[in-house]
Amino acid sequence: MKLQVITSNQGKLREFQAALPQVEIIHNDADCDEIQADTLEEVVLSCIEQLRSKGLNNFILDDSGLFVDGLQGFPGVYSSYVLRTIGNAGLLQLMDGRTERQARFKSCIGALIDSEVIIAHGECQGKIAFAESGTEGFGFDPIFIPDGYEVSFAELSLAEKNKISHRGNALRAFSAQFNSR
Ligand code: IMP
């Protein structure tokens, strides 16, 4: 089956391709207006309906965010805005002097397959580093150290990140639903 991955993020696209070897991935950078919402799932469902109304079918997308415990879950659903504005350096500044550095990445995957909606979730627990490190991946990867590791996501290969990441976990949950249709 051919599945269109809706994203303008090349890093995400590579992770989708690696995690879904059973489907033929086609890249589509169709746009949807990201609504302001309190949850990733609301954003995903809104995007799915916007794209469905444009006549698209058999596609998959994800909305993700970094939720920092010590910042009451911020930046969460505002992750993309925060990266665009203050970036990793700004987030590290917000964490200055804080010893509580626990955080989690969350991913909500949404797909429209043969006009039916599939939703899957994934998380990855970790902590915010004290400095950026690594050159792999994208976004917040250089400042996120997954639990059980001493290095950031940006120091892991794509395959290693996918094994433990929020998106990898969400894509495995998606695959289970997709395969049992
Ligand atoms: P989006 O709205 O799902 O595209 O993601 C929100 C923000 O979080 C974007 O700026 C992404 O770069 C960032 N982000 C999403 N997933 C990851 C990830 O796996 N690693 C690092 N940053 C991510």
Given a contact cutoff of 8 angstroms between Cβ atoms, the answer to whether 25 and 16 are in contact is yes
pLDDT on residue 1: 82
| Ligand 1 surroundings by CB, under 6 angstroms | 9, 62-65, 79-80, 83, 105, 137-141, 153, 165, 167
- At residue 141 the predicted structure's pLDDT band, cuts being 50, 70 and 90, is very high
Q: What is 105-117 written as a DSSP string?
A: EEEEEEEEETTEE
3-state secondary structure of 149: coil
| pTM as predicted | 0.96
- Mean residue pLDDT of the chain comes to 96
Q: What is 18-84 written as a DSSP string?
A: HH-TTSEEEEE---------SSHHHHHHHHHHHHHHTT--SEEEEEEEEEEGGGTT-BGGGHHHHHH
What is the CATH number that goes with domain 2-179?
3.90.950.10
Q: Whose CA is nearest to atom 23 of ligand 1?
A: 139
Q: What average pLDDT score do residues 107-134 get? A: 98
For 15-65, how does the pLDDT look when each residue is reduced to its tens digit (9 = 90+)?
999 999 888 999 998 989 989 999 999 999 999 999 999 999 999 999 999
The ranges assigned to domains in the chain are 2-179
Given a contact cutoff of 8 angstroms between Cβ atoms, the answer to whether 19 and 162 are in contact is yes
